[in-house]
Chain A
Amino acid sequence: MAEAAAITAEQVKHLAELARIAMTDVELERMAGEIDTILSHVARVSEVATDEVPATSHPIPLSNVLREDVVGTSLSAEQALSGAPAQDQGKFLVPQILGEE
Chain B
Amino acid sequence: MERQVTYSEAILSAFEYLLKNYPEVFILGQGVWSPWYVGNTMQGLNVKFGKGRVIDSPVSEWACTGIGVGASLFGYRPIIIHPRMDFMVLATDPLVNQAAKWSYMLGGRANPCVTVRSIINRGGEQGAQHSQALHSWYAHIPGLRVVMPATPTDARDLLIAAVLCDDPVLYIDDRWLYEEKEALPPIQELNLTQQQPKVLKQGKDVTIVGSSYSTYLAMQTAKELKTHDIDAEVIDLRILNPLDPSVIIKSTEKTGRLVVIDGSWRNCGLAGEIIASVVEKIDPRILKAKPCRITLPDTPAPTSRVLEEIYYPKVTGILKKVISLFTPTEQNENEPLMADIYELKKQKLI
Do A and B assemble together?
Answer: no
Interface residues of B (CB under 8 A from A): none
